[in-house]
Amino acid sequence: MSDAAAVADTEARDLLYDLVSIPSPTGEERECAERLVEFFEAHDREVWLDEVGNVRAPADDRALFTSHIDTVPGDIPVRIEDSDQKSELWGRGSVDAKGPLAALAVAAVRTGVSFVGVVGEEVNSRGARFLVEDRDAPDAVVNGEPSGWDGVTLGYRGILQGTYVSTSESGHTSRPENNAIQDAISWWSRVEAEFENDPYEPVFEQVTAKPVNIQGGTSDDGLSVEATLEVQLRVPPSMTCDEVRELADGVLEGGHVNWNDQVRPTMQSPRNPVGRAFRVAIRNAGGDPRLLRKTGTSDMNIFAGEWDCPMATYGPGDSDLDHAPDEHLPLGDLDRAVAVLEEVADSL
């Protein structure tokens, strides 16, 4: 559908442009959060920044709209590019996740539902973790991440993160015994074999094991060889983080692992009230609803782990452009997403 098929939502477009124009990498969200506060104050909504920096705008708790303010680093010149068929906003965060953030904020002020803009999602979900400890569960949650205006995300894999540490005595490299670096490599090879991917099974249903950082070498005093290996394992809903950790520990030799964080997977029913509301609203907007499962992890995992209420994740934007150097959002998709979210809020 071209932009001509959607009515331009000037308020949503202006807010999104402002939000994208304010850099907000994780840990530096304050200025962007204050712009959101101004937006809600202009609509006579109660709003404040809480102690971790979340934008809190409580209202009708039959639905909580929430998305994250932070982005990954990256300087993409903010601009609007127009063509015969579409108008696109370019800039870091236009897709992940300021497009969803702006759409949810605009829909929230128009329908009177609760809203929270959270911080820290790209690193440790600090804002979402604080939120679930600081308030009771709402009746329903709509989490903001790019799904495409005609898609709704119902499932995310979880994540298990740890650091392998090994130390061995220093010695001549001609010796046959493993040193700490070899121990780290050997352990990780066994982990990869334990979770070898099946090409005939969906990635969403499998454990994906990835090393994210490795360091090693002779110690400063020259008496030992040291190695550290930071790892992430994505956990499908068919397994728990504890089960994955047990399997990884079961092939451990020559070192130990400090498991420092875990987030449970989640899979929501497409028949829950939020999923139903989105299917109806997308059809009413002229779309064919797509039900999605994401191989990554989002704040919805945090909410689902603590709050017993129906939820789903939604927002304009192509998630293939998350963190990409060519991140951009068709503004017609933003317009349609706001209309969908308003109908979902009214339904809930």
CATH number at residue 46: 3.40.630.10
Using alpha carbons only, what angle is made at residue 270 by residues 146 and 243, rounded to the nearest 5 degrees?
A: 85
126 plus 21 within the same structural domain: yes
271 plus 176 within the same structural domain: no
pLDDT at 5 over 80: no
Q: Which of 96-110, 164-178, 257-271, 288-302 has the lowest mean pLDDT?
A: 164-178
Which amino acid belongs to residue 75?
D
Q: Which of 263, 292, 323 is the last residue of a domain?
A: 263
Which amino acid belongs to residue 166?
S
Q: What pTM was estimated for this model as a whole? A: 0.91
Q: Which residue has the higher pLDDT, 102 or 4?
A: 102
Which amino acid belongs to residue 143?
N
Measured from the Cβ of residue 251, the count of other Cβ atoms closer than 10 Å reads 15
Mean pLDDT of 262-284: 97
Q: pLDDT tens digits for 111-138? A: 999 999 999 999 999 999 999 999 999 9
Q: Which of 207, 232, 263 is the last residue of a domain?
A: 263
Q: What is the CATH number of the domain that holds 217?
A: 3.30.70.360
27 plus 109 within the same structural domain: yes
Mean pLDDT of 301-330: 97
246 plus 272 within the same structural domain: no
82 plus 124 within the same structural domain: yes
The pLDDT score that the predictor gives to residue 257 is: 97
Q: Which of 230, 263, 296 is the last residue of a domain?
A: 263
The pLDDT score that the predictor gives to residue 3 is: 47
Active site residue 121: yes
**Catalytic-labelled residue, pool 3, 9, 70, 299:** 70
pLDDT at 239 over 70: yes
169 plus 138 within the same structural domain: no
124 plus 270 within the same structural domain: yes
151 plus 232 within the same structural domain: no
Q: What is the count of structural domains for the chain?
A: 2
pLDDT band at 185 (very low <50, low <70, confident <90, very high): very high
pLDDT at 6 over 80: no
29 plus 92 within the same structural domain: yes
183 plus 34 within the same structural domain: no
**Catalytic-labelled residue, pool 3, 29, 96, 121:** 121
Tell me the pairing of strands 311-314 and 141-144: parallel
The helix or strand, by DSSP H or E, that contains position 129, with its residue range, turns out to be helix 126-134
Q: pLDDT tens digits for 36-49? A: 999 999 999 999 99
Would you give the distance in Å from CA 62 to the centre of its chain? Answer: 23
For residue 249, what are the CA distances in angstroms to 84, 190, 234, 253?
A: 57, 10, 15, 9
b/e for 103-132, b at 16 or more Cβ within 10 A? Answer: bbbbbbbbbebbbbbbbbbbeebbbbbbbb
227 plus 184 within the same structural domain: yes
> What's the chain's average pLDDT?
95
Q: 58 is in which domain, residue-wise?
A: 3-156+266-347
Taking the C-alpha atoms of residue 94 and residue 96, their distance in angstroms, rounded to an integer, is: 6
136 plus 186 within the same structural domain: no
Q: Give one DSSP letter per residue of 38-102, joined into a string.
A: HHHHHTT---EE-TTS-EEE--EEEEEEEEE--B-S-----EEEE-SS-EEEESTTTTTTHHHHH
